[in-house]
Structures are given as structure tokens and as C-alpha cells.
């Protein structure tokens, strides 16, 4: 039996290459291990044009050592190319076909039929995919640790139930904006049967017939998803029952994205609190029904929270921010359009959130520039601040430190745009320091103070 010394193998692995935004030439075919075509417009080829599906289909059969392939920069990628990839790249561990709308069940099923050692699959926005191909992935890709299926309008609870049942090694699962997903797609807790009415009770009204999805039995699993760390359910039509079942089944989740799940209430947050110290990132933007009570419980139950998004949670007040400010690990906080916030919330962050790096308070119109100034002075780690639409930021001299607004904004939007980063944030802090000093000097000298846009300290 022939053997190879480790020293002989090392040059072979060093010779393998990573190709980004271009196709390999003939001399590189057998050496390319990672093919990443990320840019749609900057994928140069020999004739100077963008990379096409025809070119891909000619090159891929000659690259047998491919391990990771990202084709997001070639949106016209077809089933033909995916079938060729499945047939020739026998060591394929990861593939990203996000946005490749020409790919269908045919290509994905071929990937699952070849027993490839796939560990991660991204199929975001491949809008033609339906349940059979996703169920095939769940049942045949036993090594899978990362699966992204966002923006699939035809994905139903049927295949997602198979993911929970068969893909037990998953660490990341993203199902954002899959409009057909409901509670039936997720694990359910076993509840005691409701008591049957006695003869003296009124008979319940007959149940209104629902869709075939609503008539599916609850998904009761007898194993747990101990490996799951990241779950994204943005804009899915789930209720508190689904969140409770998910947390009971996957109690080590670190990143949980529930933005846009508008039916959720405080009961969901109570369930999330069971994640305790495991929870690192929680996104609840546009979950308008949550209240201060839930946020207080969250802050006290999950001490390692690093990133919290509460944008458009209209029922929250300063009390929620006061509790969250005490989290020592807090680095990013979004409070966009939380209209009930006042300067008290900023004072709490200034006093306690010393590690805060990114803060979003756009359209919190009760905030004053003085409170923001105090925050900037106390929280030296702050590197990003969004304050668009806050009336106080219309003060003279402030707007020059903001980033440039997007070119497609109308004049009114451009006037309200206030986003400060890095050096500009330091510049804003210095400007407000000087203006505060001028105000104190004016008071000392008993002369009127007039705000200015320059950085000079003299009063005239």
C-alpha cells in the first residue's frame, strides 16, 4: 500500500488556490479549491465582459477539487451548471446560490443525490424552490451545519418540519421572509389536554375549517437541537406558541432574530428569557406589542446580551433602556422610532453603558442635544450614532459632521439625515464641548449666548 509523508503532502495543499471574482485559467483548473464570484458587474473574463452561465458550465467540469463555491455574482446561473458542479466537485462542502433565480428543484435535487460532504448551503431568494428539494436537503445532507432559506415564497411548514426532524447538527438556520411559515413549521411543546365540557356546559361552536397547513398536527419532537446557535425568522407569521416551542427545543440559541413577527407579545419574551446567559443577540424590531415588563425581565435573565434591536416597539419607555443600560456586554442598541423615550434614557446609557459602540435613536423626537452631548462625553467607546429626524439635531453646526445622505433621498429626507461615524463622531463631540464652554463663558460674563456653527471659543 502506497503511503505519503506529511512533508510531501504539505506542498500539495499550499498549491491550492482561492479564486475571487474571476474564473480560473487552464493552468489553475486543478488547483482551485475556493471559487467566489461575488460581484455581478466586476467579474472580468478574458473578453472583458461579466461572467456568464455558459462560461461557468465550461470551466466547472475541469475543477475537481472545489470545496466552496459562491455564485451570487452570477445570478443567471442555471440548473445545468449546478448539475455539473454536483457531478464533478465530489469534495464540495459549501455552496451559495443566493439570488440565482434560474436554479430550480432539478439542480438542488442533484446536489442531494450525489452524497456530497456539504456542510453549508445558502439558497436565499431562489424563488422557484419548493418543499421537495428542501426536504431532500434535510434528509440527505447529514453533515449540514448552516442552512439559509430566506425569501422563498413557496416554502411551507412541511419541509421546515423535516429540517427540525433530520438536520440535527445545524448551527445556523435562516428562514427570513418566508411568508407561508406559521407555528406549524416549528416544534411544539406537549400541553395537557383541555378539559372536556360537562353535560351542563354549553356545547362549543363547531370549529371553522382551516387550510391544510392549519390542519397539520403539532410537531412534537423527542430530541433537542443542542447545536443550534443562530435562528432568523424575520417576518414569519408565528405566535408566542412557536417561540415557546423553539426555546424548549433549542435552549442554547445565541442569536435570535424575530424582527417583524408582529403577533408576538410579552409571553414570547418570557420564553426567550429561558435562554439565559446563552443569548447574545436579540432582534425584536417591529414587535410592537412588547412592553417594559418584558424588557425588564429580559435584561435580568440574559446578562450577556450584546446586541438588542427594539426599533418601532412603540410601547417601550425609558424604563426599558434603564434596565438594558446595566448590561455590561451591551455593544449595539437600536431604539428607532421608540417615541416615548426621553433624555432620561440617554442619561442612563451615559452612566451605565460604558461599552456601547453603536446606538440608533432616529425619530426619537423627544431627545435633546444636551442629553446626546452627555452621552458622547461619557461613552468613549461609541463609534456610530444615527439620529435622523430628531428636531434637536437641526441646531446650527451639527449637520456638517454627518455622513452624506444617499443620493436617492429627497430634499426633506436629506435635511433630516444625521448619521455620525468614527472621526465625525469625535468631531461632533468636540464641537459640542466648545459650544458648552462658550455658553458657560457667556453666562459668567453675563452676555447673551448665541449658538454658532464654527469651532472657535471666543464669544464674538
Residue with cell 457531478: 87
Is residue 74 a part of any domain in this protein? yes
Residue 193 included in any domain: no
What span, in angstroms and rounded, lies between the C-alpha atoms of 374 and 346?
8
Domain contains 32 = yes
Q: 241: how many CB neighbours lie within 10 A of its CB? A: 17
Number of domains in the chain: 2
**Half-sphere exposure (CA, 13 Å, Cβ side) for 416?**
12
What angle in degrees, to the nearest 10, is found between the helix axes of 131-140 and 157-166? 0
Neighbour tally for 211: CB within 10 Å: 10
In a domain, 81, yes or no: yes
Residue 187 sits at φ, ψ, to 5 deg, of -60, 145
**Is residue 302 assigned to a domain?**
no
Residue 344: phi, psi to the nearest 5? Answer: -60, -35
Residue 383 lies in a domain: yes
Residue 389 maps to which CATH number?
A: 3.80.10
Is the residue at 376 inside a domain?
Answer: yes
What pTM does this model have? 0.89
Q: How far is residue 284's CA from residue 323's CA, in Å, rounded to a whole number?
A: 16
The bridge status of strand 307-309 relative to strand 94-96 is unpaired
449: in domain: yes
One pLDDT digit (tens) per residue for the chain, 460 residues? 344 344 443 444 456 789 999 999 999 999 999 999 998 754 444 445 689 999 999 999 999 999 999 999 999 999 999 999 999 999 999 999 999 999 999 999 999 999 999 999 999 999 999 999 999 999 999 999 999 999 999 999 999 999 999 999 999 999 999 999 999 999 998 765 555 555 555 666 666 556 767 778 889 998 999 999 999 999 999 999 999 999 999 999 999 999 999 999 999 999 999 999 999 999 999 999 999 999 999 999 999 999 999 999 999 999 999 999 999 999 999 999 999 999 999 999 999 999 999 999 999 999 999 999 999 999 999 999 999 999 999 988 899 999 999 999 999 999 999 999 999 999 999 989 888 887 787 788 777 767 767 767 666 5
Q: Domain containing 79: what range?
A: 15-124+143-148+163-174
Amino acid at each position: 500500500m502506497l503511503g505519503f509523508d506529511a512533508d510531501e503532502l504539505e506542498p500539495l495543499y499550499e498549491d491550492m488556490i482561492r479564486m475571487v471574482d474571476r474564473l480560473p485559467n487552464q493552468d489553475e483548473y486543478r488547483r482551485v479549491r475556493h471559487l467566489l464570484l461575488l460581484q455581478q458587474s466586476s467579474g472580468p473574463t478574458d473578453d472583458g465582459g461579466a461572467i456568464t452561465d455558459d462560461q461557468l458550465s465550461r470551466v466547472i467540469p475541469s475543477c475537481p477539487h472545489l470545496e466552496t463555491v459562491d455564485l451570487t455574482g452570477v445570478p443567471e446561473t442555471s440548473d445545468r451548471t449546478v448539475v455539473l458542479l454536483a457531478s464533478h466537485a465530489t469534495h464540495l462542502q459549501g455552496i451559495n446560490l443566493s439570488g440565482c433565480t434560474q436554479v430550480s428543484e432539478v439542480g438542488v435535487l442533484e446536489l442531494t443525490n450525489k452524497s456530497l460532504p456539504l456542510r453549508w448551503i445558502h439558497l436565499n431568494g431562489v424563488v422557484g424552490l419548493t418543499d421537495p428539494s428542501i426536504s431532500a436537503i434535510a434528509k440527505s445532507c447529514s453533515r449540514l451545519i448552516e442552512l439559509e432559506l430566506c425569501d422563498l415564497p413557496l416554502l411551507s411548514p412541511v419541509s421546515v418540519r423535516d429540517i427540525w426532524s433530520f438536520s440535527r447538527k445545524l448551527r445556523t438556520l435562516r428562514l427570513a421572509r418566508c411568508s407561508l411559515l406559521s407555528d406549524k413549521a416549528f416544534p411544539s411543546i406537549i400541553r395537557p389536554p383541555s378539559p372536556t365540557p360537562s353535560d351542563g356546559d354549553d356545547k362549543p361552536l363547531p370549529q371553522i375549517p382551516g387550510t391544510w397547513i392549519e390542519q397539520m398536527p403539532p410537531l412534537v419532537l423527542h430530541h433537542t437541537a443542542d447545536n443550534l446557535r443562530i435562528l432568523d425568522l424575520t417576518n414569519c407569521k408565528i405566535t408566542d406558541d412557536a417561540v415557546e416551542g423553539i426555546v424548549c427545543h433549542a435552549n442554547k440559541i445565541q442569536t435570535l432574530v424575530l424582527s417583524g413577527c408582529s403577533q408576538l407579545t410579552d409571553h414570547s419574551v418570557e420564553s426567550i428569557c429561558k435562554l439565559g446567559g446563552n443569548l447574545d443577540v436579540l432582534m425584536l424590531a417591529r414587535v410592537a406589542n412588547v412592553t417594559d415588563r418584558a424588557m425588564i425581565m429580559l435584561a435580568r435573565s440574559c446578562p450577556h446580551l450584546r446586541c438588542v434591536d427594539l426599533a418601532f416597539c412603540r410601547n417601550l419607555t425609558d424604563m426599558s433602556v434603564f434596565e438594558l443600560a446595566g448590561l455590561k456586554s451591551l455593544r449595539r442598541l437600536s431604539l428607532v422610532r421608540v417615541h416615548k423615550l426621553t433624555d432620561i434614557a440617554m442619561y442612563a446609557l451615559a452612566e451605565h453603558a460604558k461599552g456601547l459602540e453603536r446606538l440608533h435613536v432616529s425619530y426619537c423626537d423627544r431627545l435633546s442635544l444636551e442629553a446626546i452631548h452627555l452621552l458622547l462625553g461619557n461613552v468613549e467607546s461609541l463609534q456610530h450614532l444615527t439620529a435622523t429626524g430628531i428636531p434637536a439635531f437641526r441646531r446650527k453646526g451639527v449637520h456638517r459632521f454627518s455622513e452624506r445622505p444617499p443620493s436617492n433621498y429627497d430634499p426633506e429626507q436629506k435635511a433630516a439625515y444625521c448619521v455620525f461615524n468614527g472621526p465625525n463622531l469625535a468631531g461632533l463631540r468636540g464641537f459640542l464641548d466648545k459650544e458648552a464652554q462658550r455658553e458657560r463663558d457667556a453666562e459668567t460674563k453675563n452676555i447673551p449666548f448665541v449658538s454658532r456653527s464654527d469651532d472657535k471659543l471666543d464669544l464674538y
